[in-house]
Structure 1
Amino acid sequence: MLLIDDLQVERDILPLFNFTHQEQSEAALRQLFDERPPTKAAVAERQAVVQAFLNNWAVLGNFSYSVLYFRGAQSFMQEVQSGRYLLAAGAKARWQFFFSEAKRHHVQSQVVQLILFLEKLHTSYLARLDLASFPPAFRAELTAANDFLGLFDLGAQAAAVRENAFTVSHILQTTNVLQKLTAEETAAFWSFLFRFEAYWSVAKGVMQHQLCFARFDDQQLVVEDLYHPLVPQAVRNTFRLRPGENVLLLTGPNMAGKSTFLKAISLCVYLAHLGLGVPATACTLPYFDTIAVSINLNDNLRSGYSHFMTELLHLKTVVEQLAQKGQQRCFAVFDELFRGTNQDDALDITQATVGGLTRFPRSVFFLSTHLLQLEEQLPPLGAAVGAYHIDCSIVDGRPVFSYRLRRGWSQLKIGRLLFDEVGLDRLLKS
Structure 2
Amino acid sequence: MSFITDKQTLEDLGLLGKFKQHSVFSIFNKVKTGGGERLLTEMFHQPLTDATAINERSSLFHYFQNANLSFPFDTADFNRVENYMSSVINGNGVTNLAAVARKKFAGAFLHDKQYEQLQQNLRATIAALVALRALVNKLDIPMTAQARQFLSGKKMQWLDTVNGQTLSILNTARYDSLLRNTLRKEMEWLLETIYQLDVYIAVSSVSRERGFYYATALPGSANVFGSTALRHPGLPNAVPNAIRLDSSTNLLFLTGANMAGKSTLMKSFGIALYMGHMGFPVAAANMRFSIRDGLYTSINVPDNLNMGYSHFYAEVLRVKKVAQEVSNRKNMVVIFDELFKGTNVKDAYDATLACTVAFSRYRNSAFIISTHIIEVGEALKPYNNIQFGYMPTVMKGNQPTYPYTLTSGITSDRQGMLIIENEKILEALYN
Contact preservation (8 Å) 2:132, 2:194:
no
Residue identity in the other structure for 2:214: F
Deviation, 1:385, is 1.0
1:284-343 CA distance string (max 9 Å, x none): 12211121122122212333322222222222222211222x3x3211100001111111
1:333 is matched with which residue? 335
User: What corresponds to 2:239 in structure 1?
Assistant: 235
Check whether the contact 2:93–2:174 (CA below 8 A) recurs between aligned residues: no
Question: Is there any run of 5+ residues in structure 2 with no aligned partner, and where?
Answer: 109-113
Distance change (3 Å), C-alpha of 1:154 and 1:353: same
Aligned-pair CA distance for 1:242: 6.6
Q: Show the 5 A alignment for 1:83-122.
A: 83=90, 88=95, 102=108, 105-122=116-133
Match of 2:324 among 300, 320, 324: 320
Write the distance in 1 (CA, Å) between the matches of 2:175 and 2:215: 46
Counterpart secondary structure, 1:403: coil
Structure 1 residue ranges without an equivalent (≥5)? none
Q: Residue type matched to 2:163 in 1?
A: A
Larger deviation, residues 66-75 vs 249-258: 66-75
Which residue of 1 is the match for residue 42 of structure 2?
31
Which of the residues 160, 163, 168 maps onto 1:155? 160
Please tell me whether residue 21 in structure 1 is matched to residue 32 in structure 2. yes
> How far apart are the structure 1 equivalents of 2:107 and 2:297?
64
CA deviation profile, 1:67-107 (whole Å, cap 9, x unmatched): 2321222223343x3439987467x6897688666375454
Q: Is the 8 A contact 2:93 2:177 kept in 1?
A: no
Could you tell me how far 1:365 is from its partner in structure 2? 0.5
Q: Say whether 1:77 aligns with 2:85.
A: yes
Q: Is the 8 Å Cα contact of residues 49 and 293 (structure 2) preserved in structure 1?
A: no
Change (3 A) 1:74 1:145: farther
- Note the C-alpha offset of 1:108: 2.8
Shift of 1:53: 2.0
Partner of 1:402: 403
Q: Name the SS of the counterpart of 1:224 in structure 2.
A: strand
Residue-pair matches, total: 412
Structure 2 counterpart of 1:236, which letter?
P
**Match of residue 372 from structure 1:** 374
Matches within 5 A, 1:240-319: 240-241=244-245, 244-319=248-323
Structure 1 CA distance, aligned partners of 2:280 and 2:25?
11
Q: What is residue 190 of structure 1 aligned with on the other side?
A: 191
> Which residue does the alignment assign to 2:207?
206
Shift in Å, 1:250 = 0.3
TM-score (normalizing by structure 1): 0.87
The answer to whether the 8 Å contact 2:49/2:292 transfers is no
SS at match of 2:406: strand
Deviations 1:361-415 (A, max 9, x none): 111100000002113334622x211110001122212212111100000011111
What's the CA shift for 1:423?
1.9
In 1, distance between residues paired with 2:240 and 2:91?
57
**TM-score, with normalisation over the residues of structure 2?**
0.87
Q: Percent identity?
A: 25
Q: Distance in 2 between matches of 1:130 and 1:423?
A: 66
The question of 1:2 aligning with 2:5 is answered yes
For 2:71, the aligned partner's letter is F
